[in-house]
């Protein structure tokens, strides 16, 4: 079993190397040429050193004098060889490094691009830490053997040349080489076999440690407020300890094999001297030939190690490559069509759900996904505001995701102006629809950059117009640097309501024809929320003309009352539709839900003063509610 595993790792590892060579053939050729030049100069230098000792140094010692011309010739030869060796080293290292870093950069881009292509359902099944590890350490591990690969290829060429040179010198010395070189290969194969499972485990643990760290840092607020610092530290320390032990096991194995790999060529040199002295006494070889062969074995020790480096890193490369390919080969992307809706030539869009069914995929392949939506059908007419109301888990956020095509229905259609959203190009869909989600996400950048997102045509005037619609221009103008204010990671310098209004302004800056608000103003003062919705229903540039059609997931009675129509959903189905007043009179479940929401608002109002920036506490302290 271990032998089959070793062969499998070697075969797959060589496949990874072939892939690298196919992608960067020119750079690899340059690196190999440099390596072959270096190896060739080693063989030549062995011959030259042997000649200098046997034909220059020894005769000079016997005569008691050194010929200036002969000495100059020897020095020139050695200098020329050294220059060529340096050129070989430069070409090999530059080519190998350039090839390795190009591959890593290329595959980081591919992995990241694939992340953006895959649907949210795939991301839900993979932790953020694992995804970060795939794009970083796994990509690095996959191409780690590239650095010594050209050196190893050049060394193989050099070894063939060395064997030929040995046979041309003396058959007995050649047999010593034939015994040492296969022994080096065998030792490297054993090393690779034992290293494979250790490297694979270490690579997996790197991803797990990254995942735990990211989760703890991302959930710092929960960790701090729940007093879980010690538990989270212990959880991280436990997995980090496993990674430490795994890496120590890797280092321990290297500590055993590295001295053996260093010693074997030295033993070969010793064997050459013993056998060579015997052959010299017999007159089969000269001093020049003995010195050349002994020097050759001495200088071969380091290049031969390059083969071991490649073989030793193959298990880690295979482990990283498997994890990278898992992302690149993942299925489930949502291809876009070729149709285009021109946002500049039309007003608010019409959104239509027709007999939509949807189930989230199961966590495990053998499981069946539970249906979330069934027979959902409704229309958001152009320029109208429709409120989506229902209890927790009714499918409201899923409907919002379908409306902007974050997911596709299992059956039925979601259309914009009569066109199935699956037929639209990505650019057309993004230019027509905008989603403002429950949890606002703000980049660690300026206010301007967060709203404009480098989109063409969004200048400062457009940014301020969007901020006014989102009722955010006042607090932005009061910031120390206005639009140039850095908001911090995830907008930590802003309150919850400010972040929500900033993300709403970001969506509005693109002038969407359909705006989907998934409880996007929950942290905003109700009066401010009402002002926002009123502004969206009537453009300030053209009074009475709606900015966009609006589908809003709503909870507050004041918000629901502003809608032209209310869609009431329960257990993934549309139970009733009509105006807020009509549903209050005809749907008991709707009455109970809205009443419960209203009571919750009353309770909150008793605890805080919505009209002020700060709310008094019984202790006399003040906390910020919404800046």
pLDDT tens digits, 599-622: 666 665 555 544 444 333 333 333
Residues of the chain under the 50 pLDDT cut: 1-4, 365-367, 540-541, 544, 609-627
- Give residue limits of the domains in the chain: 15-170+311-332, 171-284, 351-607
354 by DSSP, 3-state: which? strand
Here the tokens at position 596 are 């419960």
Question: What pLDDT, on the 0 to 100 scale, is given for residue 610?
Answer: 44
pLDDT score at 225? 65
Is the Cβ–Cβ distance between 141 and 203 less than 8 Å? Answer: yes
pLDDT of residue 77: 80
CA dihedral 109, 112, 116, 121 (to 10 degrees): 150
Nearest alpha-carbon partner for 450 in 467, 427, 426, 433:
467
- Identical fold between 15-170+311-332 and 351-607: no
- Give the tens place of pLDDT for each residue, 105-146: 999 999 988 888 787 767 767 777 677 778 888 888 889 888
Do β-strands 385-389 and 549-553 pair in parallel, antiparallel, or remain unpaired? Answer: parallel
Whose structure tokens read 């007093």? 227
**What gap in Å lies between CA 403 and CA 416, rounded to an integer?**
9
Nearest-angstrom CA–CA distance, 352 and 377:
7
What pLDDT, on the 0 to 100 scale, is given for residue 621?
31
Q: Which of 150, 195, 188 is nearest to 32 (CA)?
A: 150
> pLDDT digits over 186-243, tens only?
777 677 677 767 776 776 787 778 777 767 766 666 666 667 778 778 888 888 888 8
In the CATH scheme, what is the code of domain 15-170+311-332? 1.20.1560.10
CATH for the 351-607 domain, from 2.60.120.10, 3.40.50.300, 3.30.1490.100, 3.40.50.2300: 3.40.50.300
227-258 pLDDT, tens digit each: 777 877 888 888 888 888 888 888 888 787 77
Give me the pLDDT at residue 600, please: 62
> What is the spatial order of strands in the sheet that 573-578 belongs to?
433-436, 514-518, 549-553, 385-389, 565-570, 573-578
Q: How far apart are CA 172 and CA 156, in angstroms?
A: 22
Based on C-alpha coordinates, what's the Rg of the chain? 36
Whole-number pLDDT of residue 352:
92
Residue 270 in tokens = 């010793």
Q: Which tens digits make up the pLDDT trace of 562-571? A: 788 999 998 8
CB atoms within 10 A of CB 389: 27
Q: Kindly give the residue spans of alpha helices, DSSP state H, lying in 125-170.
A: 128-133, 139-142, 149-169
CA–CA distance, 401 with 435 (Å, rounded to integer): 8
């Amino acid at each position: 079993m271990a032998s089959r595993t070793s062969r499998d790792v070697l075969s797959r590892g060589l496949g990874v190397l072939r892939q690298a060579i196919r992608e960067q053939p020119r750079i690899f050729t340059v690196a190999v040429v440099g390596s072959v030049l270096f190896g060739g100069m080693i063989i030549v230098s062995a011959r030259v050193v042997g000649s200098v000792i046997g034909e220059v140094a020894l005769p000079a010692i016997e005569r008691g004098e050194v010929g200036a011309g002969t000495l100059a010739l020897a020095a020139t030869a050695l200098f020329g060889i050294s220059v060529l060796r340096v050129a070989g080293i430069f070409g090999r290292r530059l080519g190998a490094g350039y090839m390795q870093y190009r591959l890593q950069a290329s595959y980081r881009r591919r992995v990241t691009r694939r992340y953006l292509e895959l649907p949210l359902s795939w991301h839900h099944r993979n932790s953020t830490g694992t995804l970060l590890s795939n794009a970083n350490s796994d990509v690095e591990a996959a191409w780690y053997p590239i650095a010594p690969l050209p050196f190893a290829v050049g060394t193989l060429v050099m070894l063939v040349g060395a064997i030929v040179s040995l046979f041309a010198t003396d058959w007995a010395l050649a047999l010593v080489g034939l015994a040492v070189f296969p022994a080096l290969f065998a030792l490297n194969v054993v090393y690779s076999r034992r290293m494979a499972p250790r490297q694979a485990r270490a690579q997996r643990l790197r991803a797990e440690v990254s995942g735990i760290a990211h989760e703890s840092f991302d959930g710092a607020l929960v960790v701090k407020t729940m007093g879980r610092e010690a538990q989270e530290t212990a959880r991280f320390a436990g997995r980090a300890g496993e990674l430490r032990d795994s890496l120590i096991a890797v280092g321990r194995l290297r500590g055993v094999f590295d001295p053996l790999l260093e010693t074997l060529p030295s033993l070969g040199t010793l064997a050459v001297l013993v056998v060579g002295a015997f052959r010299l006494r017999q007159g089969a070889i000269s001093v020049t030939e003995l010195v050349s062969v002994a020097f050759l074995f001495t200088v071969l020790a380091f290049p031969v190690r390059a083969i071991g480096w490649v073989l030793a890193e193959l298990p880690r490369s295979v482990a990283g490559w498997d994890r990278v390919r898992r992302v690149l080969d993942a299925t489930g992307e949502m291809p876009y069509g070729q149709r285009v809706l021109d946002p500049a030539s039309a007003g608010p869009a019409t959104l239509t759900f027709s007999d939509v069914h949807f189930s989230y995929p199961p966590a495990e392949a053998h499981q069946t996904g539970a249906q979330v939506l069934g027979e959902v059908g409704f229309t958001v007419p152009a320029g109208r505001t429709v409120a989506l109301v229902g209890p927790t888990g009714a499918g409201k956020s899923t409907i919002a995701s379908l409306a902007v095509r974050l997911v596709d229905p299992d059956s039925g259609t979601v259309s914009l102006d009569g066109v199935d959203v699956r037929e639209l190009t990505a650019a057309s869909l993004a230019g027509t629809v905008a989603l403002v989600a429950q949890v606002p996400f703000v980049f660690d950048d300026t206010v301007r950059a967060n709203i404009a997102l480098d989109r063409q045509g969004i200048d400062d005037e457009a940014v301020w117009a969007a901020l006014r619609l989102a009722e955010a221009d006042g607090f932005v103008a009061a910031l120390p640097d206005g639009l140039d204010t850095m908001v911090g990671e995830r907008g930590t310098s802003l309150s919850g309501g400010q972040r929500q209004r900033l993300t709403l302004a970001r969506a509005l800056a693109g002038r969407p024809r359909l705006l989907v608000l998934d409880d996007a103003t929950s942290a905003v003062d109700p009066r401010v929320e009402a002002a926002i919705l009123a502004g969206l229903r009537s453009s300030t540039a053209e009074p009475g003309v709606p900015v966009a059609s609006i589908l809003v997931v709503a909870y507050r009675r004041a918000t629901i009352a502003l809608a032209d129509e209310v869609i009431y959903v329960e257990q993934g189905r549309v139970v009733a539709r009509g105006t807020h007043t009509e549903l209050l009179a005809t749907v008991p479940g709707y009455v109970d839900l809205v009443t419960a929401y209203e009571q919750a608002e009353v309770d909150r109002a008793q605890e805080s003063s919505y009209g002020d920036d700060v709310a008094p506490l019984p202790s006399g302290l003040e906390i910020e509610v919404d800046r």
